[in-house]
Structure 1
Amino acid sequence: MRVAEARTLEREARQGPGIGSVEVLAALLVLLVIFRGELAGVVPGARWQTWTTVFVSVLVQAVPFLVFGVLLSAVIAVFVPRSFWARALPRHPALAVPAASVAGVVLPGCECGSVPIAGSLIRRGVTPAAALAFLLAAPAVNPIVLTATAVAFPGDPEMVVARGLASLVVAIVMGWLWLRLGKAEWIKLPHRPDVDGASRGRAFWSACRHDVVHAGGFLVLGAAAAATINVLVPEAWLQTLAAEPVLSVLALAVLAVLLSICSEADAFVAASLSQFSLTSRLVFLVVGPMVDLKLISMQAGVFGRGFTARFAPATFVVAVLAGSVAGMVLL
């Protein structure tokens, strides 16, 4: 079996790299830059400028943290032995979930970095429930995000507490739900290059290139989708929905998914939505780092579409409920 796999890899290496989705996406981006003048003549100037501004800003916010996450993921995959996770996390999966959620507090990253890290943790033998709990908690409860929230809401310090607690609850609940209802076949991690026989340095860079290809391409697609939604959703709709308590919560939850703002910056956007209640804005802050367009795209690339189709809607519902309850109790 190993001989057959080795021959397959050798044959693929002789054939050279083929043209895949990443190459096609890169070509489309180049064409977009070349023909931006012609496209600006077709699309109204203001809308085109808004689209390009949102698209570039999402990428600028996300790429540094994506690179950080990819590097950390490669470190975990190459340099951290499997036995470390057996010692670091409780053996019982139900206890490993909250432990992994709390571990997200010490990692200064956003959702773009947490996706490849979670995938690497699963490959290293961490129970998927704990890895997914870490994926949800890390972007929402790390010190940078909580500090940004405190700066954005200087007159409402309880917003920081409510965001941190609600986000931890969502991460733990989703981890326990996966233990109860999740199936291993729902997660389809993409094929990774076989690095067991390579040197650590070579294996490290091979893992980095692999994760950048899979996560970076989907990040660009998510950024493009978020920019398109920003252009299509009329601002007047938000003004109308703000007057309805229940609809305002749902509206900002959906808006968080569509805008796809990095978790380090979303608190300032939430603070600017002053026409909405604090509870509505809290839901916006809880949902955004866990379910947005770029994150859904990246999860589909790392874990498979079947997983994302189940995990993202369930996370959205739990996040809305947790944010609403925390808002009613703490705000």
Structure 2
Amino acid sequence: MGERRIGSVEVLAAVLVLGLLLRGHSAFQAPIVQTWAAVFVSIVLQALPFLTLGVVLSAAIAVFVSRDLLVRVLPRRPVLAVPAAAVAGVVLPGCECGSVPVAGALLRKGIAPSVALTFLLAAPAVNPVVLVATAVAFPGQPWMVAGRAAASLLASTVMGWLWLRRGRTEWIKMPAHDHAHGFLSQARHDFLHAGGFLVVGGLVAATLNVLVPGRWLQVVADQPWLAVLAMAALAVGLSICSEADAFVAASFTQFSTTAKLAFLVVGPMVDMKLFAMQAGMFGRRFAIRFAPATFVVAVLSAVVVGVVL
């Protein structure tokens, strides 16, 4: 019997049990702890329904929908297929964890790398589940939904065209064939994998909210470029699933719309878990070139769209 790994469900259960055991303790009654708990619980509870829906839809697509469908609907010319692949992400729900194996399958089927990589970047950021979650996280701010969609489509399309012009096939290690999963096993795997990052992201966001003095955050938030870079770097570090990241971004009330937009655009395209997944599937030579370029393009796209908004 193999060694059992601790997953997100175990982490979440441990946090909840610990909270129940300590709720009567005097230290747990401290205002700062109460505030931390309230922020953490609100982030997780708001995000879980969208994370669950996204995982179910993603598993259904992975198991029941033929990947050959994209091959048939995409234009033959790569320069036109790149924006088409970006738009295709709008109708295919799923998180960034699911987009990596789908992109690998497209490469195995002979799809141009520029097209597969465009889909890899666009789908987690512009699918309907993510956009609805963004609307719920930012009530009364429809420009956040429109801005996220526009900036993500722009960044993914630019990266596709950039790879078309500058990318080299020898940088990509062709992914190995993956094993088929049933619907329940696929959904369970995706939920356990993505849920852990949501829990960690909620813990970090709540901790930052209560431990970092508001005046410090305000100093960063008052510097436009510093605020954008700080939120973009935070998105990379937190590695939150795209179906839940809007709720974390909304909790940073000191920051501008553009800085929050950078968080929402960068996160689904470049973060620590994605780098590891891309390096594992496409090779480290690919990841160390693709991730930094994507980060720069995503930040600039968010700034351009944020200025327009």
User: TM-score under structure 1 normalisation?
Assistant: 0.69
Q: Does 1:304 align with 2:283?
A: yes
- Does 1 or 2 have the higher relative contact order (CA < 8 Å, sep 6+)? 2
1:254 is matched by which residue type in structure 2?
A
1:235 and 2:220 are equivalent in the alignment: no
Task: Name the SS of the counterpart of 1:165 in structure 2.
Answer: helix
Letter aligned with residue 268 of structure 1: F
- Separation in structure 1 between the aligned mates of residue 53 and residue 273 of structure 2, nearest angstrom: 15
Q: CA deviation at 1:25?
A: 7.8
Tell me, in whole angstroms, the C-alpha distance in 2 between the residues paired with 1:286 and 1:324.
10
On the 8 A contact 1:111/1:290 being kept in 2, the answer is yes
Q: Choose from 114, 118, 122 the match for 1:129.
A: 114
Q: 2:239 aligns with which of 249, 260, 281?
A: 260
Distance 1:309 1:325 in 2: 25
Deviates more, 1:219-228 or 1:284-293: 219-228
Letter in 2 for 1:235: V
**Conserved in 1, the CA contact under 8 Å of 2:231 and 2:259?**
yes
- Aligned residues of 2:198 and 2:240 also touching (Cα < 8 A): no
> What fraction of aligned residue pairs are identical, expressed as a percent?
52
Q: Distance in 2 between matches of 1:249 and 1:115?
A: 26
The CA distance in 1 between the partners of 2:128 and 2:276, in whole Å, is 26
Residue number in structure 2 paired with 1:318: 297
- The answer to whether the Cα contact below 8 Å between 1:73 and 1:116 also exists between their aligned partners in 2 is no
| 8 Å contact kept, 1:109–1:142 | yes
- Cα distance in 2 for partners of 1:86, 1:118 equals 12
1:144-223 matches, within 5 Å, as 144-192=129-177, 204-205=180-181
Amino acid at match of 1:253: A
Q: Name whichever of 173-182 and 286-295 sits farther off.
A: 286-295
Q: Which moved more, 1:120-129 or 1:311-320?
A: 120-129
Shift of 1:240: 3.1
Q: Secondary structure at the match of 2:299?
A: helix
Deviation by residue 1:190-237 (Cα, 9 ceiling, x = unmatched): 4326xxxxxxxxx7449x989x99x99987997898689769976345
Return the offset for 1:89: 0.9
Q: Offset at 1:253? A: 0.7
Q: Residues 115 and 108 (structure 1 numbering): CA distance in 2 closer, same or farther, change over 3 Å?
A: same
Structure number with larger C-alpha Rg: 1
In structure 1, C-alpha distance between the alignment counterparts of 2:139 and 2:7, rounded to whole Å: 43
Asked if residue 96 in structure 1 is aligned to residue 73 in structure 2, the reply is no
Deviations 1:92-121 (A, max 9, x none): 011111011000001122112211111111
1:117 aligns with 2:102: yes
Q: Are the aligned partners of 1:221 and 1:294 in contact in 2 as well (CA < 8 Å)?
A: no
Q: CA shift at 1:158, angstroms?
A: 1.6
SS at match of 2:5: helix
SS in 2 for 1:26: coil
For this pair of structures, how many residues does the alignment match? 287
Which residue in 2 is equivalent to 1:26? 5
**Aligned-pair CA distance for 1:269:** 2.0
Q: Partner of 1:289 in structure 2? A: 268
Q: Structure 1 residues 191, 63: CA separation in 2 closer, same or farther (over 3 Å shift)?
A: farther
8 Å contact from structure 1 (residues 66, 112) kept in 2: no
When residues 149 and 127 of structure 1 are mapped into structure 2, their CA distance, relative to the original with a 3 A threshold, is same
* CA distance 1:224–1:32, change in 2 (3 Å): closer
Cα distance, 1:242 vs structure 2: 1.4
Whether the 8 Å CA contact 1:222–1:293 is kept in 2: the answer is: no
TM-score, length-scaled by structure 2: 0.73
Partner amino acid for 2:140?
A: G
Q: 1:228 to 1:278 in 2, by over 3 A?
A: closer
Partners of 2:108 and 2:175 within 8 A in 1: no
Which whole-Å CA distance do the structure 2 matches of 1:205 and 1:86 have between them?
A: 22
- Supply the distance in 2 between the matched residues of 1:65 and 1:151 (Cα, whole angstroms): 15
The 8 Å contact of residues 137 and 247 in structure 2, kept in 1 or not, is answered as yes
| Displacement of 1:276 | 0.9
Distance 1:94 1:120, change over 3 A: same
